Chains A and B, each alone.
Chain A
Amino acid sequence: MSSILQAKDVVKKYGEYTALNKVSIDVPKGSIFGLLGPNGAGKTSLIRIINQITAPDAGQVLLDGEALQQFHIRDIGYMPEERGLYKSMKVGEQALYLAQLKGLSKSEAKMRLKYWFEKFEISDWWNKKIQELSKGMAQKIQFVVTVLHQPKLLIFDEPFSGFDPINANRIKDEILQLRDDGATVIFSTHRMESVEELCDHIALIHKSNKVLDGKLTDVKRQYKSNTYQVGIAGVNNQQLRSVLNEKFELTDADFKSIDDDLKLNIKLKNGDTSNDLLSYLTSQGQVNHFVEVIPSVNDIFIQTVENNN
Chain B
Amino acid sequence: MNHLPLIIKREYLTKVRNKSFILMTFLSPLIFIGLITLIVYLTQLNNNKQRTISILDETGKISQVFQAEANDKDANTKYIFLKGISLEEAKKQVQEAEQYGLLHIRQMASTEAIAQQIKFYSEDSPSQNFISKLERRLSEKLTEETLLQNNVNIDLVKKSKMQVAIGQETFSGERTSKLINYSKLGFGFAAGYLLFMFIIIYGNMIMRSVIEEKTNRIIEIIISSVKPIQLLMGKIIGTSLAGITQFLMWIVLGGTIVVILGLVFGFDLMSAQTAQQQELIAQGANIDIQILISHIISSLPIVNLMVAFFIFFIGGYLLYSSLYAAIGAAVDNETDTQQFMMPILMPLILAVYVGGFTVLEDPHGTVATVFSYLPFTSPVVMLMRIPFGVGIGEQLISIVILYITFAGTVWFASKIYRVGILMYGKKPSYKEIFKWLKY
Interface residues of A, count at CB 8 A: 28
Query: Would A78 and B224 be within 8 Å (CB), given that A53-B422, A71-B1, A101-B3 are in contact?
Result: yes
Q: How far is the CA of A70 from the CA of B7 in the complex (A)?
A: 17
Given the known inter-chain contacts A53-B224, A70-B227, A103-B1, please indicate yes or no for A83 contacting B217, CB distance below 8 A. yes
The verdict on A82 contacting B224 (CB below 8 Å), with A70-B1, A97-B6 known, is: no
Q: Is the CB of B219 within 8 A of A89?
A: no
Residues 1-24 of A, flagged 1 when their CB comes within 8 A of B and 0 if not, give 000000000000011000000000
Is B418 within 8 A of A101, CB to CB?
Answer: no
- Chain B positions within 8 Å of A51 at CB level: 224
Complex contact A73–B221 (CB within 8 A): no
**A87 cross-chain contacts in B, Cβ below 8 A:** 216
Q: Who on chain A is nearest to B230 by CB?
A: A101
> Of B1, B422, B438, which contacts A48 at CB under 8 A?
B422
Closest Cβ of chain B: how far from A275's Cβ, in Å? 53
Distance of A84 Cα from B224 Cα, bound (Å)? 13
The residues of A that contact B220 with a CB separation of less than 8 Å are 48, 53, 78, 80, 82, 84
B106 within 8 Å of A by Cβ?
no
Closest beta carbon of chain B to A60's beta carbon, Å: 19
Task: Please encode chain A, from 66 to 87, with 1 for each CB lying within 8 Å of some chain B CB and 0 for all others.
Answer: 0000110100101010111111
Q: Given contacts A15-B435, A71-B1, is CB(A102)–CB(B218) below 8 Å?
A: no
List, in ascending order, chain A residues with CB within 8 A of B422's CB: 48, 53-54
A27 to chain B, nearest CB (A): 17
Chain B residues in 8 Å Cβ range of A71: 1
Q: Which of B210-253 contact A (CB under 8 A)?
A: 213, 216-227
Does A98 sit at the interface, judged by CB under 8 A?
yes
Q: Does B310 contact A (CB under 8 A)?
A: no
Partner of B225, one of A54, A80, A89, A102: A102
* B171 interface contact, C-beta 8 A: no
Nearest chain A CB to B18 CB, angstrom units: 8
Q: Are A52 and B221 in touch, CB under 8 angstroms? A: no
Task: Tell whether, in the assembled complex, residue A86 and residue B6 are in contact, meaning their CB atoms are under 8 Å apart.
Answer: no
Asked if B141 is an interface residue, CB under 8 A from chain A, the answer is: no
Q: Residue-by-residue, is A85-107 near B (CB-CB < 8 Å gives 1, otherwise 0)?
A: 11111000000011011110000
The digit string for B371-390, where 1 denotes a CB below 8 A from any CB of A, is 00000000000000000000
Asked if A145 is at the interface of the complex by the 8 Å CB criterion, the answer is: yes
Residue of B nearest to A89 (CB): B14
Contact A84 B225 (CB under 8 A): no
Q: A97 and B10 in contact (CB under 8 A), knowing A14-B439, A145-B221?
A: yes
Cα–Cα distance between A84 and B220 once the two chains are bound (Å): 8
Cβ-defined contact, A101 with B217, below 8 A: no
**Complex CA–CA separation, A103 to B226 (angstroms):** 10
| Min CB gap A206→B, angstroms | 22
A14-B439, A97-B6, A101-B6 known; A53-B218 Cβ under 8 A: no
A133 vs chain B, min Cβ distance (A): 13
Whole-angstrom distance between the alpha carbons of A150 and B184 in the complex? 62
A103 to chain B: which residues have CB within 8 Å?
1
Residue of B nearest to A155 (CB): B224
Complex Cα spacing A244 to B221, Å? 60
CB of B222 within 8 A of CB of A101, answer yes
Across the interface, do B418 and A85 meet the contact criterion of CB distance under 8 Å? Answer: no
| Contact (Cβ within 8 A) A84 B223 | no
Contact partners of B218 in chain A: CB under 8 A: 84-86
A98 and B3 CA atoms in complex are apart in Å by 11
User: Chain B residue with minimal CB distance to A82?
Assistant: B217
Residues of chain A contacted by B213 (CB below 8 angstroms): 86
A28 to chain B, nearest CB (A): 23
User: Please, which residues of chain A bring their CB within 8 A of the CB of B224?
Assistant: 51-53, 73, 76, 78
A87 to B7, CA, bound (A): 17
Contact status of A98 and B435, CB under 8 A, knowing A48-B422, A70-B1, A71-B1: no
Contact B216 A84 (CB under 8 A): yes
- What's the Cα separation between A58 and B35 when bound, in Å? 62
Complex CA gap A87/B222 in Å reads 14
Q: How far is the CB of A161 from chain B (nearest CB, A)?
A: 13
Q: Are B225 and A98 in contact (CB under 8 A)?
A: yes
Q: A84, B6: Cβ atoms under 8 Å?
A: no
Per-position binary interface string of chain B over residues 1-12, scored 1 when its CB falls under 8 Å from any chain A CB and 0 otherwise: 101001100100
Residue of A14, A53, A86 ringed by the most chain B CB atoms within 10 A: A53
Shortest beta-carbon distance from A294 to chain B in Å: 37
Closest residue of A by beta carbon distance from B227: A70
For B216, list chain A residues within 8 Å (CB). 84-87
Interface residues of B (CB under 8 A from A): 1, 3, 6-7, 10, 14, 18, 213, 216-227, 418, 422, 424, 435, 438-439
Question: Can you list 13 A-B pairs with a CB-CB distance of less than 8 A?
Answer: A15-B435, A15-B438, A48-B422, A53-B422, A70-B227, A78-B224, A82-B217, A84-B219, A84-B221, A86-B218, A88-B18, A98-B222, A98-B225
Closest 3 CB pairs of A and B: A84-B217, A84-B218, A101-B225
Given contacts A83-B217, A87-B216, 8 further A-B contacts (CB under 8 A): A52-B224, A53-B422, A70-B227, A82-B217, A82-B424, A84-B218, A98-B222, A101-B226
